[in-house]
A and B are shown apart, each in its own frame.
Chain A
Amino acid sequence: MAASEPGMKNDLRLLDPKLLRLRVDEFRRLNLEVGIEERYGPVRAVRCLPLTQPYEFISIQDDEGEEVGIIPDLRDLEPDSRRALEAELELYYLKAQVRAIHKVEARNGVISWDVTTDLGAKMVHVRDRQNIRPLPDGRTVLTDIHGGKYEIPPPEELDEKSRGWLEIEM
């Protein structure tokens, strides 16, 4: 494993996607190769901006928690590396995509959203309105009382009834 260069810890290292190779080993751990000289494994991938820019600025950290570098955009990775990284991120960041909102009810400070997501039907309990976060691109992210994330697409992508519920709550 290549050690990070002394004195460089606090400099931003943007990793060139063309030089990266990410693979999952037989223990489902992510490994990283930068060019032909640097090998890191296992590594963890952390999104710098998991809500607003989930595909950009992915921090890759070694097993000591030291940052190896940041991938500016995972979409620039070669397909196998991208798949490996996306699988790792998907596992770490569970985020269901809301397809429809059936009902929203507030009771005793908990707002309950009866939704259908891409992962199935779910009753999402949100503690207060700070956990209903509109994003600049029109999406809305709900964080439930257990820390789970549910992404609601922009209103124009929802059916009329869902849009109605969202508008009332927002």
Chain B
Amino acid sequence: MSAVGQCGKPELGKAAGKSPDPVQLSDAAQKTILGLLEPGEEIRVGAEADMVLPGSFGASWLVGTDRRICVLPTNDLAIQVDVPLRNVVSLRRRDGLGSSLLEAHTPEGAIPLVRYTEACSDRMEAAEEALKELLPEAPPEEEDAWGGEAAERERRKKAAPCPKCAKPMPRWMAVCPDCLDKRQLMVRLLQRASVYWKPIVQVFLLTAFLRFCAIYPAKLQQQLVDDVLALNVRSGPVIHLRLDMLWKLVAILAFVRIAASVVQALQQFTMTWLGEKVTNDFRIDIYTHLQKLGVNYYDQKETGWIMDRVTGDTATLQTFMTDTLQRTVLNVMTLLVIAVMMFSMHPLLAFLALLPAPIVCVMGTRFMKTTHKIWHWAWRRRSRMFALLSNVLPGVRVVKAFVQEDREFDRFQRQSEEYMRARVDAARVFAGFSRSTQLVMSFSTLTIWGYGGYLVLHNPTGDASGGVTVGVLVMFIALVAQFYSPLQELTNMSQQVQQAATSGQRVFEVLDTMPDMADQADAIELGEIQGAVEFRDVTFGYDERRPVLRNVSFKVEAGEMIGLVGPSGAGKSTTVNLICRFYDATSGAVLIDGHDVRDVKVKSLRNQIGIVLQEPFLFHGAIAENIAYGCPDASMADIIRAAKAANAHDFILRFPDGYDMMVGERGTRLSGGERQRISIARAVLKNPRILILDEATSSVDTETEALIRQAIDRLVHGRTTFAIAHRFSTLQQANRLLVLEKGRLVESGTHEELLALENGAFRRLVDVQKSLAEVVAVGE
């Protein structure tokens, strides 16, 4: 007899091939049940369910005896359902989402027996099978009225030379990245910071107060030593007077400490708030600008590189603008105040104490130059590492399918180690610099102890009138520590300034990039178009030296369906890219309803174009949200209508969450055909005047292709359509075919007209496809 598994807890697989015991109840449970049965009655089947009828959580026993089927909730130990075996015609299971209901069918109707969740479905189904064996006649197989369990499927640019350095400069850049003026860069960063001048001033004042709180105790300590503790006369009134002074000074010191703590808490909060605000504004600016940039820009830059600008560099600039910048100013001020205090007390001692300062400054400047290159190198490594991740992670299925995990691991390991090495190099240089400056600065303290101590011992009176006192010496020691701390911080800050300069350079590189598809100043709003398209002597190349389209001219009437045909690389996708104005023609013009696309507002043009791509892109979100992506205000009825037109409604409803189902990142929880139909629904809902189908059916099986073609037939009706397809059979309903070869339009006409051309380009392509189909057929 097997032990009963705990419902509700994940069960770890069962032993394969082992026939389960029909009575899956503990001895104690069986004993209890037998007490409620008739004398001589035998338990043949038993299992524990995790729900109690009609539908609450709790345990109940399903029991089959030689006489009946009964169900007993374990909490009240009474028979809840009791059906004699002779009355049962059949057993029927109704599988819902998350639970199942087992019913006994009798001539009078269905009697619910037991309900249970998926957690115990294995043993309950085994019990169901065993119960069927008890029935007088074998029950007929019955179709599930719910249609069975709905299973959720898991599833270049031309370069102009920089006028200054003559290096090639990307044309979309306003400034040459190599010649970016660092001072100009800092001015720009400061200009951005000036927007937040109020909180910056607030933080500055709070920090200045904190610095005062750090310096002032040195003066109090000097008073403590010289005026209170250095006691020559031990008479009662003098001691009383000194004690008064002692309590007063200790009270002031305590007040300074408390005030410093309160102010520091306020300063920390304000700085954090300011930092988050600055970063948020930077991120939004960059993202808004990125949305304005053309497809061109994304062709050139890797996603990881761009993401690093939006996240990593903005964080570095946050530190610079909210922390480094202010601390730099405050440290300089602190240095000046301490220097004035020291020189006013004893110029020679102050001179000796501060003698190492210029050496530290020279060392800092040299260090800045050395680390600049190392930091740049480290940043480039980090960007490459991000780029690698963003490239490989979305393609993890391909990596696994080609068993390239080890190679990808090696590549990542290399990038990661290079980044680590760059940072370790920077850390090594920094450690050397930091320790050597520390050593130089320690000479200053030694000088004060040596020369200062000498002066104290040679003070004839022992008080201020005779020269240097013990109190002055203590104060000098405290002030030197306060002096070299900001000085060292200033030199260390060179690292943060370098990081900020590098990040600033990279962020401004994005912000300075000019949108190459920006609307002209006099661009007009394109009203509702008819959909006539004309290419007038269009030449275009992603690299101007190698044109992809050469002097292409054609006219398409509104509502026509055009098939774009040609071998790979002939310029078919480029043609549709120019219609959408993802790129501008190098020469010639693309006209929509007689308007040059460069003279109209890009948004008003693209609003009237729908695209269905070979690899449809879905965003992480619900199916309904993806269909409504182009029309966020669409009603649910319109969304369902579009899904039905795209032959998507039926498969959507088979998902447990229906239109609420999350499609996963890039739609990975859907199959290729399902993603394609969602993207068609998206295009249907947008109701575009011009429709572009770029190999919309090439990556799906024949049955799915038939469904997609059916959907497309509905979609193309009444719209100007450009369809690219390698399977020419799918273009038979096109009004005309345009045949491209090596960027030139070589033929134009109907399917039949082009087929009739002996040695025509289209005829040759069709012949090649036919012969390939024959080879495949023979092979099969």
Contacts and interface: CB of A to CB of B under 8 A. Distances in A.
The B interface is mostly helix, strand or loop, or mixed, namely: mixed
Nearest to B92: A27
A92 B96 CA distance: 4
B660 A51 contact: yes
A147 B152 CA distance: 9
A119 B145 CA distance: 26
Interface in A111-153: 117, 119-123, 125, 130, 133, 145-149
A51 B625 CA distance: 14
B35 interface: no
Interface string A80-114: 00000000001111111000000000000010000
A95 B660 contact: no
Given A122-B57, A123-B9, A147-B656, 19 more contacts: A10-B649, A10-B714, A11-B644, A12-B644, A26-B110, A48-B653, A49-B659, A50-B656, A50-B658, A51-B660, A63-B143, A65-B147, A93-B97, A94-B117, A119-B51, A121-B57, A145-B10, A147-B118, A148-B117
A120 B58 CA distance: 7
B641 A12 contact: yes
Interface stretch (A15-23, A32-40, A53-61, A155-163): A53-61
Interface residues of A, number: 49
Contacts of B207: none
10 nearest A-B pairs in the assembled complex, by CB-CB distance: A146-B118, A120-B57, A148-B98, A26-B109, A94-B99, A94-B98, A51-B660, A119-B56, A92-B96, A12-B641
A151 B110 CA distance: 30
A164 interface: no
A122 B644 contact: no
A105 to B, nearest CB: 13
B101 interface: yes
A4 interface: no
Contacts of A67: 649-650, 653
A89 to B, nearest CB: 9
A30 to B, nearest CB: 8
B658 A27 contact: no
A53 B636 contact: yes
Interface in B128-143: 143
B85 interface: no
B57 A117 contact: yes
Contacts of B649: 10, 67
A122 B55 CA distance: 13
B110 A119 contact: no
A68 interface: no
Interface in B287-340: none
Nearest to B145: A42
A146 B57 contact: no
Contact of B57 (A12, A57, A93, A119): A119
Contacts of B10: 110, 125, 145
Interface in B621-672: 622, 624, 636-637, 640-641, 644-645, 647, 649-650, 652-653, 656-660, 662, 664
A46 interface: yes
Nearest to A131: B662
A120 B653 contact: no
B707 to A, nearest CB: 11
Contacts of A49: 624, 636, 658-660
A149 B8 CA distance: 13
B108 interface: yes
A149 B658 CA distance: 14
B94 interface: yes
A50 B661 CA distance: 9
Contact of A90 (B55, B58, B658): B55
Given A10-B644, A120-B57, A146-B119, A93 B145 contact: no
Contacts of B8: 122-123, 125
A26 B605 CA distance: 60
Contact of B662 (A11, A26, A63, A130): A130
B657 A51 contact: yes
Contacts of B145: 29, 42, 44, 63
B146 interface: yes
Given A92-B96, A110-B10, A27 B152 contact: no
Contacts of A96: 57
B105 interface: yes
A28 B147 CA distance: 16
Interface string B95-129: 01111010101001110100001110100000000
Contacts of B121: 146
A106 B475 CA distance: 56
Contact of A147 (B58, B97, B143, B650): B97
A44 B271 CA distance: 60
B55 A94 contact: yes
A70 interface: yes
15 contacts: A10-B649, A12-B644, A28-B103, A44-B145, A44-B147, A48-B640, A48-B659, A49-B636, A57-B636, A72-B637, A93-B96, A93-B98, A94-B96, A96-B57, A133-B662
Contacts of B118: 146-148
A70 B650 CA distance: 12
Given A110-B10, A119-B57, A28 B98 contact: no
A62 to B, nearest CB: 10
Contacts of B641: 11-12
Among B105, B117, B658, max chain A CB count under 10 A is at B658
A49 B10 CA distance: 28
Nearest to A10: B644
A120 B56 contact: yes
A148 B95 CA distance: 12
B57 A149 contact: no
A12 B659 CA distance: 15
Contacts of B109: 26-28
